[in-house]
Amino acid sequence: MLNRRTLRIKAMQAIYAYKQAEGSDYLLALDQISEEFAPNLNSMEVQDKKLLEGKKQMAQLHFKEWFETSQMESEETDQEIISAVNRAVVYYKNLLSKDKKYYGNQMLNAVERIYDHYLSTLQILEVLVNLIAEEEEKKEKRFTVAKGPDVKRFTNNSVVQRLLQNKSYQQHIIRRNISWGSDISEIRSIYKNVLKQDEVFLNYLSLSAPTLEEDLVVVQHIFKNIIFKEKNLQSLFEEQDLNWVENKSIVKSLANKTIKIFGEEAEEDQVLLDLSANWEEDRAFFEELYKQTLEDDERYEELISSSVKNWDVERVALLDKIILKMALCEMQIFRSIPVKVTINEYIEISKLYSTPKSKQFINGVLDKMAQELTTKGEIRKSGRGLIDNK
């Protein structure tokens, strides 16, 4: 199932994308200034191109100064230049606001798509049942006796039937508009060329009266060795989800646990699993982590700068800075998460996504900053197993 490390990673990726967009927004603001001082080709009046070029360069210089210091020199007297810079600042801030919202939504959608993939993976059982029904209908129209295994037995599999007739499953499928539609050619091919040749599946079909445990075993086998392993199907999943390599383990875990639940004496009103044990709480956690890390970006930048005095903060890799800022945010905002847990989580994330030397750097900086901020009372933890140092 989904864990908080995955949520931290999704938030990190969204913040990284936002930071990349900052650079593009900056260039767009400079372009707007260029356009304001570009010669008007439709004007009937003679224009001083050198004067316009000079004003453009001054306006861009002032905007660059504002970008770096958040201030603009008040000595500028040319109202046209001042107005152009102010408009560029407003334009830039509006772009950032839109990007912040956009990448936040993208982050949430990326996680929600994991759940959609979980549902569509379960729905493969429904597709298989429909393919079998379609095949049986064609057999009835033939004049010759059909050969081969009696695949109809699989449609009576109690685990499959419990799942497909479950109200929670049906409601989720409808509400989230999950459907393979007519795009089942790959599943059809796997059914004919893989599943119908599979020894475990054929042995199951030979059973006269399979038990609930035998029903469960064959469905688990189909998911483990075909749905989550067959190369062509994996390629299809990768097309549907660009982050399938990352998300596969989560989808697999959710699907396996679901199948196991329906393989037990499950209640009729059994509810499908959520993304995590407490999805609403986890969702609030990573949305707040994303939002607050960006809102307090400048403050965290200053904290990092003062902590790495012997290291030019500009030389710190962007991803490492994002990891440090997220860790600082988490240590200060989320009082129930122990500092050690936060530090260890971001060290592990740095191992996966940053440079080989990042682990030691992240560990050293966070350990030092955690001690300093705790001493100052800027990190306060309370909750089960934590000292309340209000």
Query: In percent, how much of the chain has pLDDT > 70?
Result: 92
CATH superfamily for 296-375 is: NusB-like (1.10.940.10)
Please state, rounded to an integer, the average pLDDT across all residues of the chain. Answer: 90
Reported pTM: 0.86
| Residues 242, 243, 249, 255, CA torsion sign | negative
- Residues 342, 359: Cα–Cα separation, whole Å: 14
* Residues with Cβ within 8 Å of residue 89, at least 6 apart in sequence: 29, 63, 66
| Calculated CA dihedral for residues 157, 163, 166, 170, nearest 10 degrees | -120
Partners of 386 in beta bridges: 383
Q: What is the pLDDT of residues 103-157, one digit of tens each?
A: 999 999 999 999 999 999 999 999 999 999 998 888 777 665 556 678 889 999 9
Beta strands in 307-385 (DSSP E): none
Q: Taking the domains of the chain in order of start, what are their residue ranges?
A: 4-107, 113-262, 296-375
DSSP 184-231: -HHHHHHHHHTGGG-HHHHHHHT-SS--HHHHHHHHHHHIIIIITT-H
Helix, strand or coil for residue 383?
strand
- Between 285 and 266, whose confidence is greater? 285
The arithmetic mean of pLDDT across residues 192-216, rounded, is: 94
The arithmetic mean of pLDDT across residues 291-298, rounded, is: 96
